[in-house]
Structure 1
Amino acid sequence: MKALIFAAGLGERMRPLTLHTPKPLLPVGGKPLIEWHLEKLAALGVDEVVVNTSWLAERFPATLGDGSRWGLRLRFSYEGAAPLETGGGMLNALALLQENADPQAPFLVANGDIWTDYDFARLPREFDGDAHLLLVDNPPQHPRGDFRLDADGRVGNDGEDKLTYAGIGLYRASLFADWRDALGDAAGTELAPPRFSVVPLLRRAAQRGRLHGSHHRGRWTDVGTPERLRELDATFVAD
């Protein structure tokens, strides 16, 4: 299995911390955020990880090297000065993710600016549909959540008891089938390469019954502000 780590964000809400360091390279618990993911991916048996980059892109290979210290092969998908957002970034990285792989094989995706105690090995090896999302309890900054999770593991768009997408999931390239028709004339789709969010495609998959998920009730943090970063880092001192 291959994996993609989103690391192309500008980190504007984290400044001045991100003026010289991309957010996924900020340290927490004694090592960069992204390194927590790389260790888990290596333990899972992933052998190749694509890291998409934009802001301060040169810092990633300089800090992480080629991935051999974790037994991984790291490849970098540079998006230019302006990030392509989640959908555009994933589409842009598909060629690397599918190189020498079954076109229908799922690949693991993780946001580079989250921390969790979730064991990636708990993700299903097999699943139906276009994607399997990890969902968490809604944090204070996102009280309404994103998706409904049914008892059978099916994920829906509507409902009062929604959960928040954790930024971790398994995806198939089939999610992007006819993506232009799904997005219409949304801003950014006319660019080359296109820039767009993956959320509309996930909602389409949910409508078609092709989106599944699971619920993680353990620790999870969206490291979106300096305050959250400090709070998370303090837990390691306490531990």
Structure 2
Amino acid sequence: MKAMILAAGRGERLRPLTDRVPKPLIDVGGQPLIGHHLRALAAAGLRDVVINVAYRGEQIQRALGDGRRYGLRIVYSLEEPGALDTGGGIAHALPLLGPAPFMLISSDVFSDIDYGALAAARAGAEAHLVLVDNPVHHARGDFGLRGERVVDAAPRLTYAGVGVFAPHWFAGRSEPRFPLAAVLREAIDADAASGEHHRGRWIDVGRPSALAAARQGLSAA
């Protein structure tokens, strides 16, 4: 299974830090935030990774290179900053991802999700979402979970920014710019989305307090 890491965002809530460094390269425990995902993917046996880049994308490309130092093969999907949104960025990368379901990871999150188990269990998934307990900043949550079926109903959990998706959800759209959330809603409305509740470590590193928590968690480990 190939993996795609979303790394094109501006990181507005972490300014002024992200005025100089793109959020995926912010240091967390002596390595860039995105490096934790790359090491976890390599440890899980995944080898092919697509990373979309836009804001300060050249810094990300220089820092990570072709992925050899991580034991991976990295290719980059280049975007204009702010042009495509999350869903559009995935659609733009489809030629690099191929026809099979792929793992999708937001570079913004810091977690201990087992990518190997996810890939093995969901290799044929139409749409599979990893959900977590609602963080303080998103107390209302996103979706419900009934058994393994994701539903638009309470009680709600929060989408973890990690999942497995079939490419057809992103292909053939008339507009190049659209959010990932629109695809998630379509899959749920079609009763095609499965899910799981991850109860381990997970931090949305989108705010200074969350970045501090991620750093503190590693220093205490």
TM-score past 0.5 threshold: yes
Name the residue aligned to 1:50. Answer: 50
Asked whether the 8 Å contact 1:17–1:226 carries over to 2, the reply is: no
Q: Which has the higher mean CA deviation after the structures are superposed, 75-84 or 19-28?
A: 75-84
> Structure 1 residues 135, 198: CA separation in 2 closer, same or farther (over 3 Å shift)?
same
**CA offset at residue 29 of structure 1?**
1.4
State which of 201, 220, 237 in structure 1 corresponds to 2:183.
Answer: 201
- Which residue does the alignment assign to 1:143? 139
Structure 1 residue runs of 5 or longer lacking an equivalent are: 181-188
Give deviations 1:33-60, integer Å, cap 9, x for gaps. Answer: 1011001111222221111011101101
Report the equivalent of 1:174. 168
The equivalent residue for 1:40 is: 40
SS at match of 2:19: coil
Q: What's the TM-score, normalizing by structure 1?
A: 0.87
State the distance in 1 between where 2:171 and 2:67 align: 31
Alignment RMSD (CA, Å): 1.5
Are 1:111 and 2:93 an aligned pair? Answer: no
CA-to-partner distance for each residue in 1:150-192, whole Å, 9 max, x for gaps?
11x01111x2211100000111112235544xxxxxxxx2xxx
Secondary structure of 2:42 counterpart: helix
The aligned counterpart of 2:118 is 123
Please tell me whether residue 227 in structure 1 is matched to residue 209 in structure 2. Answer: yes
Tell me: CA distance 1:27–1:45, structure 2 relative to 1, closer, same or farther (3 Å).
same
Provide Cα deviations, 1:103-133, integer angstroms capped at 9, x if missing partner.
2x21111001110012112215354652111
1:3-50 deviations in Å (ceiling 9; x for gaps): 100000011111111111110110111111101100111122222111
Q: Which runs of 5+ in 2 are unaligned?
A: none
Q: Is residue 128 of structure 2 the alignment partner of residue 132 of structure 1?
A: yes
Please give the secondary structure, in 1, of the residue aligned with 2:92: helix
1:163 and 2:157 correspond: yes
2:90·2:170 contact (CA, 8 Å) conserved in 1? Answer: no
Query: Which has the larger share of helix?
Result: 2
Secondary structure of 1:133 counterpart = strand
Aligned partners of 2:22 and 2:47: how far apart in 1?
Answer: 24
Q: Is residue 179–residue 201 contact of structure 1 (8 Å, CA) maintained in 2?
A: no
Equivalent position SS for 1:123: helix
For the residue of structure 2 that corresponds to 1:144, the secondary structure is coil
TM-score (norm: length of structure 2): 0.94
Sequence identity (%): 47
Q: Which residue of 1 aligns with 2:7?
A: 7
| Distance in 1 between residues matched to 2:119 and 2:52, nearest whole Å | 24
Work out which of the two has the higher radius of gyration on C-alpha atoms and give 1 or 2: 1
